[in-house]
Amino acid sequence: MTDTDIAGSRRRGLDAVQRAERQGVRMSLRYSRLVFGMKVLLPALALTLTVLVVVWPELNDDPNRFRLTESTVSRSDADRLEMRKARYLGTDEDGQPYVVTAESARQDTADGDLIYLDAPTADLTTVEGDWVALTASNGIYAKDVETIDLSGGVSLFHDRGYEFFSETAFVDLAAGVTEGPNPVTGQGGFGEVTAESFRISERGDRIHFRGKTRLILYPETETP
Quote the pLDDT of residue 63. Answer: 46
Of 49-53, 126-130, 197-201, give the range with the top mean pLDDT.
Answer: 197-201
User: 124-173: per-residue pLDDT in tens?
Assistant: 887 777 888 999 999 999 988 899 999 999 999 988 888 999 999 999 99
Q: Is the pLDDT of residue 73 over 80?
A: no
| pLDDT of the residue at 113 | 81
Contact 125, 138 (CB under 8 A): no
Q: What is the pLDDT of residue 193?
A: 94
Q: What's the rounded Cα separation, in Å, for the pair 118 and 130? A: 26
Higher pLDDT, 11 or 138: 138
Return the bridge partners of 166, or none. 154, 184
Residue 188: closest CA among 137, 130, 149, 143? 130
CATH of 83-217, one of 2.40.30.10, 3.40.50.1820, 3.40.50.300, 2.60.450.10: 2.60.450.10
User: Could you report the per-residue pLDDT of 85-108, keeping only the tens digit for each?
Assistant: 999 888 888 888 889 999 999 887
The pLDDT score that the predictor gives to residue 79 is 58
Please say if the pLDDT value at position 66 is more than 50. Answer: no
Q: Which residues of 200-220 are buried (b: 16+ CB within 10 A; e: fewer)?
A: beebbeebebeeeeeeeeeee
Mean of all residue pLDDT scores within the chain: 76
- pLDDT value at 4 more than 80: no
The confidence band for 195, taking pLDDT boundaries of 50, 70 and 90, is very high
Do 205 and 131 touch, CB atoms closer than 8 A? no
Report the alpha-carbon angle 100-104-108, nearest 5. Answer: 95
